Amino acid sequence: MSAPRRISILGTTGSIGQSTLDLVRRDPAAYHVVALTGGRNIAQLAADAAEFGAEIAVTAHGDCLDALRSALSGTGVEAAAGEAALIEAAARPADWVMSAIVGAAGLAPGLAALRTGATLALANKESMVCAGPLMLSEARAHGGRILPVDSEHSAVFQALLGEDVGSVERVIITASGGAFRDWPLERLAAATPEEAATHPNWDMGQRITIDSASMFNKALELIETHEFFRIPPERIETVVHPESLVHALVGFADGGLMAHVGPPDMRHAIGFALHYPERRHVPVERLDLATIGSLSFRPADETRWPALRLAREVMQAGGLSGAVFNAAKERALDAFIDRRIGFLQMTEVVEATLDSIGSHARLVDDAIHLDKVLEADHLARYTADEIMARL
Ligand code: NAD
Ligand code: MG
CA distances to 19, 148, 212, 361, 366 from 141, in Å: 30, 18, 34, 25, 18
* Ligand 1 atom closest to the CA of 86, numbered from 1: 20
Q: Which residue has the higher pLDDT, 200 or 350?
A: 350
Work out the pLDDT band at 368, boundaries 50, 70, 90: confident
CA distance 10 to 58: 9
CA distance 182 to 148: 30
Across the strands, what pairs with 258? 250
CA distance 97 to 94: 7
CA distance 155 to 329: 25
Q: Which protein residue's CA is at the shortest distance from atom 20 of ligand 1?
A: 60
pLDDT at residue 200, as a whole number: 86
288-332 pLDDT, tens per residue?
Answer: 999 999 999 999 999 999 999 999 999 999 999 999 999 999 999
Query: Is the pLDDT score of 387 beyond 70?
Result: yes
pLDDT at residue 2, as a whole number: 82
Q: What are phi and psi of 372, to 5 degrees?
A: -70, -40
| Distance from Cα 23 to the centre of ligand 1, integer Å | 17
Mean pLDDT of 210-223: 98
Q: Which of 58-72, 99-113, 200-214 has the lowest mean pLDDT?
A: 200-214
Under 8 Å CB-to-CB from 18, ≥6 apart: which residues?
Answer: 12
Q: Which protein residue's CA is at the shortest distance from atom 42 of ligand 1?
A: 150
| Distance from Cα 174 to the centre of ligand 1, integer Å | 21
pLDDT at residue 179, as a whole number: 95
Work out the pLDDT band at 202, boundaries 50, 70, 90: confident
Query: Is the pLDDT score of 367 beyond 80?
Result: no
Query: Is the pLDDT score of 360 beyond 80?
Result: no
Q: Is the CB of 197 under 6 A from ligand 1?
A: no
CA distance 207 to 214: 11
Could you say which DSSP state residue 166 is in?
A: G
| Distance from Cα 203 to the centre of ligand 1, integer Å | 12
Give 31-50 as a DSSP string.
EEEEEEEESS-HHHHHHHHH
- Whether the CB-CB separation of 220 and 129 falls below 8 Å is answered with yes
| Distance from Cα 294 to the centre of ligand 1, integer Å | 32
Best of 9, 15, 199 to mutate for ligand 1, by most ligand atoms within 8 A of CB? 15
Mean pLDDT of 8-14: 98
Q: How far is CA 310 from the centre of its chain?
A: 18
* Ligand 1 atom closest to the CA of 40, numbered from 1: 11
* Ligand 1 atom closest to the CA of 101, numbered from 1: 7
Q: Residues whose CB is under 5 A from ligand 2 (ion)?
A: 150-152
- Whether the CB-CB separation of 357 and 380 falls below 8 Å is answered with yes
Q: Which protein residue's CA is at the shortest distance from atom 41 of ligand 1?
A: 204
Q: Which residue has the higher pLDDT, 235 or 359?
A: 235
- Whether the CB-CB separation of 239 and 172 falls below 8 Å is answered with yes
Half-sphere exposure of 98 (CA within 13 A, CB side): 36
- Whether the CB-CB separation of 376 and 361 falls below 8 Å is answered with yes
Helix (H, G, I), strand (E, B) or coil at 81: strand
Query: Is the alpha carbon torsion for 296, 302, 305, 309 positive or negative?
Result: positive
The model's pTM = 0.98
- Whether the CB-CB separation of 124 and 107 falls below 8 Å is answered with yes
Could you say which DSSP state residue 179 is in?
A: T
The CA-based angle 175-181-184, given to 5 degrees, is: 155
Helix (H, G, I), strand (E, B) or coil at 244: coil
Under 8 Å CB-to-CB from 211, ≥6 apart: which residues?
Answer: 217, 220, 329, 333
CA distance 323 to 227: 12
CA distance 282 to 113: 25
Mean pLDDT of 267-285: 98
pLDDT at residue 362, as a whole number: 65
| Distance from Cα 101 to the centre of ligand 2, integer Å | 14
Q: Is the CB of 196 under 6 A from ligand 1?
A: no
Q: Is the CB of 101 under 6 A from ligand 1?
A: yes
Helix (H, G, I), strand (E, B) or coil at 390: coil
Going by DSSP bridges, is the β-strand pair 236-240/119-122 parallel, antiparallel, or unpaired? unpaired
Q: What are phi and psi of 117, to 5 degrees?
A: 90, 10
Best of 130, 176, 208, 381 to mutate for ligand 1, by most ligand atoms within 8 A of CB? 208
Q: Is the CB of 238 under 6 A from ligand 1?
A: no
pLDDT at residue 1, as a whole number: 62
CA distance 115 to 359: 31
Q: Is the CB of 21 under 6 A from ligand 1?
A: no
Q: Which protein residue's CA is at the shortest distance from atom 25 of ligand 1?
A: 205
Query: Is the pLDDT score of 358 beyond 90?
Result: no
Q: Is the CB of 38 under 6 A from ligand 1?
A: yes
Average pLDDT, the chain: 96
Could you say which DSSP state residue 301 is in?
A: -
CA distance 334 to 4: 40
- Whether the CB-CB separation of 243 and 201 falls below 8 Å is answered with yes
Q: Is the CB of 14 under 6 A from ligand 1?
A: yes
Query: Is the pLDDT score of 219 beyond 90?
Result: yes
Query: Is the pLDDT score of 361 beyond 90?
Result: no
132-180 pLDDT, tens per residue?
Answer: 999 999 999 999 999 999 999 999 999 999 999 999 999 999 999 999 9
| Distance from Cα 221 to the centre of ligand 2, integer Å | 7
- Whether the CB-CB separation of 48 and 68 falls below 8 Å is answered with no
Instruction: Calculate helix-pair angle for 206-214, 321-337, nearest 10 degrees.
Output: 110
* Ligand 1 atom closest to the CA of 203, numbered from 1: 40
Helix (H, G, I), strand (E, B) or coil at 84: helix
- Whether the CB-CB separation of 107 and 373 falls below 8 Å is answered with yes
Ligand nearest to the CA of 333: 1
Q: Is the CB of 208 under 6 A from ligand 1?
A: yes
